[in-house]
Amino acid sequence: MRQLMTRDNSMSPRGLLSRRGMMRGSLVAAGSTVAASLALVEEAKAEADIPSWLRVPGEPVRSYGQPAETEADVKRAPIQIYKDLAPAYGFSGTPLQKLRGTITPNGLHFEVHHGGRPLLNPVEHRLIIHGLVNRQLKFDVATLERYPMVTGVHFIECAGNSFFNAIFDEPKQLGCDMLHGLVSNSEWTGVPLRILLEEAAIKPDARWVIAIGNDAPNLARSIPIEKAMGDAVLALYQNGERVRPEQGYPMRVVLPGYQGNMNIKWVTSLQVTSRPAYTKDESGEYTDILADGKVLDFAFTMGVKSVITHPSGTMSMSGPGVYEISGLAWSGLGKVARVEVSTDEGNSWSDADLQKPVLDKAMTRFAIEWKWDGKPTTLLSRAHDEAGYVQPTRTAWKKRYAPSNYNHYNAIQAWRISSDGAVTNAHT
Amino acid sequence: MRTLEMIFAFSALLVGSVSALGQTPQLGQVLQDREIPFFARYIMPDGAGLPAGSGSATAGRRVWESRCASCHGATGSEGPIMPPVGPTATYAKSAGKYWPYATTLFDYIRRAMPFPSPKSLSDEDVYSVTAFILYRNGLIKENESIDANSLPRLAMPGRDNLTDLWAKQGEKPY
């Protein structure tokens, strides 16, 4: 945790500080804190020693950059629930607590694979469009490169993200990567699906598009025609470079705001139909069991959600004093309108600052300065979206679903801080 | 947004208008029927896409024991992975009781199972394994044969329990 010193004494009763005052007071102090921590590492040396890298030329240019070697612990958190029995069925979570800003580096975008990452040949890969169309068409990658493309920053969140919190009444002591890491945020560039479907000339009774992947189980989902002809994109690029193999190389479907499973990776077929196919995932795993035992299908939109990433579970505070509480918020219904933060178990709330730009169906970074008095407390964040939805408490969320249900969990995350500074996962 | 009028309006525009077609680059190549692999056509709940052939649980048991039991259990309810016979204490979404259409069982087994070697079963074997799962869930008799005609007519217990949220309220979350 970055600890800041301040001259600003304009503090609310619960220690939350006005950000403007904080920024004014902290600029000089922040710099000296960084210098001080570097000095700790190098304290055996005299300050005036000339370090080794100043006595030799640096490394030459390289064709593809890599993170600093000292950042090797910034990596995804893999979960293989069936271990060696089905190693290709697994997840890996984005280490949200080790990142700042809003864009997920491509190598850290979360994965959920139902049949592994295919080693497909991009030259042989085709996207075909068939079914209720007047012209059955096929496209290779080179042809799609000639089509008009659009770019948008959007989150993709697995419907089952945060499943540990959804299922277990005793909170699991894990970090944000394991607890909430099945969400990432990227700039996606590609061809609007609408253009390709227009070229295929869909018939009047076309109501659904079954998108099918070029992976071992040929994962398939039914997409309503309104979405396919709306903001759906056939993405070829992810943060400027080709879509990564883990995210669907050479092409994937991106459906802004919809559950991750529908954003078909390695997409190879668009089957236009009059009805949904009730594919395996929309028949089982991606349905919701409600409290009364009934089952909800085709719940596409990911609801408004937020999580404080700094500080968060498994971290330790470095003593009482001033901190920046920072986190991420998103909604599948549009822009994040407001994020409130509580540092007293929800007794009082203050609006955090939303960092610009606040984009549609994309992650927004929120932040608020806070002076921790060293006493045990609980931090909470509660996001609102422009459609008027607000994050529920865990208790309220659990009341609506069966105990085993974990999809669409978007309840408020609570982080308990003990007097010794340990930050732990808590349910409120 | 979701009105039928909207759908018909833009569909009519696309189908009928040369100028609307002209707005796309027109670089897609004509796709012949013979170029469409089976896995690109999902089998629909009404049975559209089901191939010829048939199978019974009696035949399916042999396939099950050699190709399925190591992940899903000796009789389909033991697991450890997503047992299709149930529901069980650890898995609420057993395919036989939970999935609304039996056609999905056939399609998914054909495209994706067995997990280490998908698409290695013949259509007859897929019908037989589907029949075994249905039999073990008490939905058909052990020697009952299923085929393209009977599979879509089978009343699955999960169907009546299902609410289609998209049809009910579109994009609005539950």
- Which member of A201, A226, A408 has the closest CB to residue B14? A201
Nearest to A129, CA basis, from A279, A272, A226: A272
- Give the residue numbers spanning the domain of B31: 4-40
**Does B172 fall in a domain?**
no
DSSP labels, B33-47 = GGGS-GGGSPPPTT-
Tokens 């540990």 correspond to: A164
The verdict on a CB contact (< 8 Å) between B30 and A196 is: no
pLDDT at A44: 59
The model's confidence at residue B18, banded by pLDDT at 50, 70 and 90, is: very low
The strand pairing partners of A423, in sequence order, are: A417
Q: How far apart are CA A28 and CA B169, in angstroms?
A: 53
**CA-based nearest residue to A302, from A348, A336, A351:** A336
Tell whether B78 is covered by a domain.
Answer: yes
**Contact yes or no for A284 and B95 at CB 8 A:** yes
pLDDT digits (tens, 9 = 90+) for B152-170: 999 999 999 999 999 999 9
Give yes or no for a contact between A222 and A235, defined as CB atoms under 8 angstroms apart. Answer: no
**φ/ψ of residue A107, rounded to 5:** -70, -10
My answer on whether B35 and B97 are in the same domain is no
Rounded to an integer, the average pLDDT of B68-79 is: 97
Q: Does residue A38 register a pLDDT over 70?
A: no
**Which residue, chain included where needed, has tokens 């705001």?**
A257
b/e sequence B70-88, b meaning 16+ C-beta within 10 Å: ebbbeebbebbbbbbbbbe
Q: Does the residue B174 lie in any domain?
A: no
Overall average pLDDT of the B82-101 stretch: 96
For B13, the 3-state DSSP assignment is helix
Give this complex's ipTM.
0.89
Contact A111, A183 (CB under 8 A): no
Cβ distance of A283 and B95 shorter than 8 Å: yes
Q: Is the pLDDT of residue A37 over 80?
A: no
Confidence of residue B15 (pLDDT cuts 50, 70, 90): very low
A-to-B residue pairs, Cβ atoms closer than 8 angstroms: 207
> Does the pLDDT at position A35 exceed 80?
no
The pLDDT-based confidence of A156 (bands split at 50, 70, 90) is very high
CATH number at residue B119: 1.10.760.10
Closest CA to A266 of A280, A253, A283, A285: A253
* pLDDT mean across residues, chain B: 91
| Residue B134 backbone dihedrals phi, psi, to 5 degrees | -65, -40
Same domain, B10 and B87: no
DSSP helix/strand/coil, A164? helix
Are B71 and B113 found together in one domain? Answer: yes
Q: Name the residue with tokens 């994009």.
A: B171
* B79 and B136 together in one domain: yes
* Nearest of A82, A135, A62, A319 to residue B26 by alpha carbon: A135
Q: Are B114 and B120 in contact (CB under 8 A)?
A: yes
Q: Do B71 and A86 touch (CB under 8 A)?
A: yes
Which residues from chain A sit within 8 angstroms of residue B165, using beta carbons?
296-300
Distances (CA, A) of B170 to A15, A193, A233, A360, B3: 42, 20, 20, 18, 11
How many domains in chain B?
A: 2
Rounded average pLDDT over B142-153: 98
pLDDT, tens digit (0-9, with 9 covering 90-100), for A246-292: 999 999 999 999 999 999 999 999 999 999 999 999 999 999 999 99
- Using the predicted structure, report yes or no on whether residue A24 has a pLDDT greater than 60: no
Verify that B62 and B114 share a domain, yes or no: yes
Per-residue pLDDT tens digits for A224-249: 999 999 999 999 999 999 999 999 99
Q: Judge: A88–B115 Cβ closer than 8 Å, yes or no.
A: yes
Residue A23: predicted pLDDT: 46
- Using DSSP, state whether A194 is helix, strand or coil: helix
Would you state the structure tokens that stand for residue A113, as one six-digit string? 């694979």
Q: Which of the four pLDDT bands, split at 50, 70 and 90, describes residue B23?
A: confident
Q: Do A296 and B20 touch (CB under 8 A)?
A: no
Note whether B36 and B58 are same-domain residues. no
The answer to whether A422 touches A385, Cβ cutoff 8 Å, is: no
CB contact under 8 Å between A224 and B166, yes or no, is yes
- The shortest C-alpha distance from A258 to chain B (Å) reads 9
How far apart CA B114 and CA A395 sit, in angstroms, is 40
- At residue A43, the pLDDT reads 56
**Per-residue confidence at B17, pLDDT binned at 50, 70, 90?**
very low
Structure confidence at residue A42 (pLDDT): 52
> Given this model, what pLDDT does residue A41 score?
52
Inter-chain CB proximity A146 and B172 less than 8 Å: no
Contacts of B89 in chain A (CB under 8 A): none
Same domain, residue pair B74 and B147:
yes
pTM, two decimals, is 0.91
Q: Which of A289, A298, A389 has the CB atom closest to B164's CB atom?
A: A298
CB A380 within 8 A of CB A325: no
Does domain A305-426 fall into CATH 2.60.40.650?
Answer: yes
Q: Is the pLDDT of residue A374 over 60?
A: yes
Residue B19 and residue B59 in one domain: no
d(CA B96, CA B138): 9
Distance from CA of A251 to the nearest CA of B (A): 16
Where do we find the tokens 């959920």?
A: A112
Q: At what angle do helices B102-112 and B123-136 cross, to 10 degrees?
A: 130
Separation of CA A235 from chain center: 17
Compute the average pLDDT of residues B85-109.
96
Asked if B8's CB is within 8 angstroms of A204's CB, the reply is yes
Q: Which fold has domain A106-290?
A: Sulfite Oxidase; Chain A, domain 2 (3.90.420)
Q: Given B15, B21, B33, which is nearest A203 (Cβ)?
A: B15
| Residue in B closest to A129 by C-alpha | B31
Instruction: Answer yes or no: do B171 and A333 touch at CB < 8 A.
Output: yes
Contact assessment for residue B156 and residue B99, using Cβ atoms and an 8 Å cutoff: yes
Q: Which of A277, A28, A130 is nearest to B48 (CA)?
A: A277
- Dist CA B64 CA B67 (whole Å): 5
In a domain, B49, yes or no: no
Helix (H, G, I), strand (E, B) or coil at A313: coil
Res B108: pLDDT: 98
Are residues A201 and B80, on separate chains, in Cβ contact within 8 Å? no
Contact A204 B98 (CB under 8 A): no
Mean pLDDT of B114-142: 98
Nearest to B112 among A218, A278, A296 (CB): A218
* Cα dist from B20 to A88, A201, A225, A295, whole Å: 44, 10, 18, 41
For A53-91, how does the pLDDT look when each residue is reduced to its tens digit (9 = 90+)? 999 999 999 999 999 999 999 999 999 999 999 999 999
Q: Do residues B93 and B156 both lie within one domain? A: yes
Work out the average pLDDT over A213-221. Answer: 98
Residue B166 lies in a domain: no
Same domain, B70 and B116: yes
Decide: A331 and A391 in contact? Cβ < 8 Å. Answer: no
- Closest Cα of chain B to A371: distance in Å? 37
Contact at CB, B103 and A200, closer than 8 angstroms: no
| pLDDT tens sequence across A416-427 | 999 999 999 999
What gap in Å lies between CA A305 and CA A328, rounded to an integer?
Answer: 8
The per-residue pLDDT for A25 is: 39
**B100 contacts in A (CB within 8 Å)?**
278, 283, 297
Q: How high is the pLDDT of residue B22?
A: 55
Contacts of B15 in chain A (CB under 8 A): 134, 201-204
Query: Residue B99: which of A88, A283, A408 has the nearest Cβ?
Result: A283
Domain assignments of chain A as residue spans, ordered by start: 106-290, 305-426
Average pLDDT, chain A: 92
Angstroms from B162 CA to nearest CA on chain A: 5
Residue A1 scores a pLDDT above 70: no
DSSP A361: T
Tell whether B145 is covered by a domain. yes
Sign, CA torsion A312/A313/A317/A320: positive
The rounded percent of chain A whose pLDDT value lies above 90 is 89
Query: Do A210 and A279 contact (CB within 8 A), yes or no?
Result: yes
CA A396, CA A411: separation in Å to the nearest integer?
Answer: 8
